[in-house]
Amino acid sequence: MADIINLRMARKAKARDAARHEADASRARHGRTRAERGAAEAEAARLVRVVDGAKRERSEEAGEKGTD
């Protein structure tokens, strides 16, 4: 004899599986892992520090020397 299946529960389980499959596909297309996002943010912060560290201060005297 076959097992009795609650059709409402089977329908909901099938819908959950379909939604899970769609979410997995969307994550594969668009998503990045938390580690990838963290690495990208750390790299961006490092680049800002490097650029700020390489800035040269312009002195008042240097600007006046060229105006003779």
* Distance, CA of 59 to CA of 65 (rounded, Å): 11
Asked whether residue 36 is domain-assigned, the answer is yes
Q: pTM of the predicted model, to two decimals?
A: 0.44
Asked whether residue 54 is domain-assigned, the answer is yes
* Distance, CA of 19 to CA of 22 (rounded, Å): 5
**pLDDT-derived band at 27, boundaries 50, 70, 90:** confident
Asked whether residue 2 is domain-assigned, the answer is no
Q: Which domain holds residue 11?
A: 7-65
pLDDT tens-digit series, residues 31-65: 888 899 899 999 999 999 999 888 788 877 666 66
Q: Structurally, how many domains does the chain consist of?
A: 1
Asked whether residue 22 is domain-assigned, the answer is yes
